[in-house]
Amino acid sequence: MYIILGGTGHVGSAVTETLLGRGEEVTIITRQASHAGAWSAKGAEIVEASVEDVASLRAAFRHGRRAFLLNPPADPSTDTDAVERRTVSNILAALEGSKLEKVVAQSTGGAQPGERIGDLSVLWELEEGLRRQSIPAAINRGAYYMSNWDGLLDVVRDTGKLPTMFAADLAIPMVAPRDLGTLAAERLVSSPDDVGVRYVEGPARYTPADVAKAFSKALARPVEVVVTPRDQWKESFLNLGFSEAAADSYARMTAVSVDGGFDMSDNAWRGTTTLERYITELVSSR
């Protein structure tokens, strides 16, 4: 039995879909079983547990022998760094006594120690915690999620403008959640010796101009890239409803990612989902 933490989200759903397609038994951990009814109909077992409750999470892990770990994103109206650091600590604590034989964790390209740099430091702490415990751990450092563009669909459709904090010609390593799920599933079923960090990208690197082109083709209208200057990044996050702390962390994380070239490996595992295919499917689904 494979346990999927975050099984109703973008990446967790892809892991679950892949494993079920292979005929594997899957248990999804969710805070509310009512939100996972579709997965139950597909044959997955559903267990209620919370990353805020170590005992319930440990009990859920004991339903299987291997687990996919994804630290859930905090509500941006909170201090996201503080909340996500706490849930990382809870996940690591829940592994103790879980009797799992292997875990696969979703991390991010550019993971590194630091203060108030969002996922970069939070997921570094997850990686380091996994290295210190005894369960064999495979870590997948994913590129920039193509799904990060999902929330802009209505804006692009209504205005013909694609707002971004990245330069229009900046080549960014991107990956579709389904490809992250495919590799995670592969590493879940592979040997316990398949551990350590692997980087995950899509088939090519794409610029915001490429994203605008993909939206333009899918929507059959011109789309213009509108770049937000760096000195307005924090304000932009605040305008989206982020807390002061979260806006600061996300702005700093964006700066570190851009200045560090997104810190991906030249030998990354390459998914097959192109940006154009991803955007086309996104538009057709809404």
Q: Are 65 and 101 in contact (CB under 8 A)?
A: yes
One digit per residue, the tens of pLDDT, for the chain of length 286 reads 999 998 888 999 999 999 999 999 999 999 887 777 788 889 999 999 999 999 999 999 999 999 999 999 999 999 999 999 999 999 999 999 999 999 999 999 999 999 999 999 999 999 999 999 999 999 999 999 999 999 999 999 999 999 999 999 999 999 999 999 999 999 999 999 999 999 999 999 999 999 999 999 999 999 999 999 999 999 999 999 999 999 999 999 999 999 999 999 889 999 999 999 999 999 999 8
Hey, what domains does the chain have and what are their CATH numbers?
A: 2-145+176-202+264-272 (3.40.50.720)
Rounded Cα distance, 13 and 21, in Å: 12
Q: Residue 37's pLDDT is what?
A: 79
Instruction: State the pLDDT at residue 117.
Output: 97
Residue 15: its pLDDT value, please?
96
Q: Contact at 8 Å (CB) between 43 and 7?
A: no
How are beta strands 205-206 and 161-164 bridged, if at all? unpaired
